Amino acid sequence: MNDTAAAAVASCRSLERLWLTRCKGLSDIGIGCVAVGCLKLRVLSLKWCLGVGDLGVALIGVKCKQIRSLILIF
């Protein structure tokens, strides 16, 4: 998955769970799109998404008020 695909996923307004694993093309921009588009997100897994940094995680924290689980492994 890359940033363009994440922007497409962001159109799913009622998305509550999203599991992303080893998405090497994903960056803070893609996660920002998800954060702005998926406001009902409760569970997000970003295992091995090495392109996602502090900015992307901060956007999730600010925009997704219902987030309960954020998995950041490796």
pLDDT digits (tens, 9 = 90+) for 52-72: 999 999 999 999 999 999 999
Summary mean pLDDT of the chain: 96
What pLDDT is stored for residue 74 in this prediction? 83
Percent pLDDT > 70 in the chain is 100
Structure confidence at residue 69 (pLDDT) = 97
Q: Which domain holds residue 34?
A: 3-71
27-37 per-position pLDDT tens digit: 999 999 999 99
Total count of domains within the chain: 1
Helices assigned H by DSSP within the chain: 3-9, 28-37, 54-63
Strand segments (E) across 1-74: 17-21, 43-47, 69-71
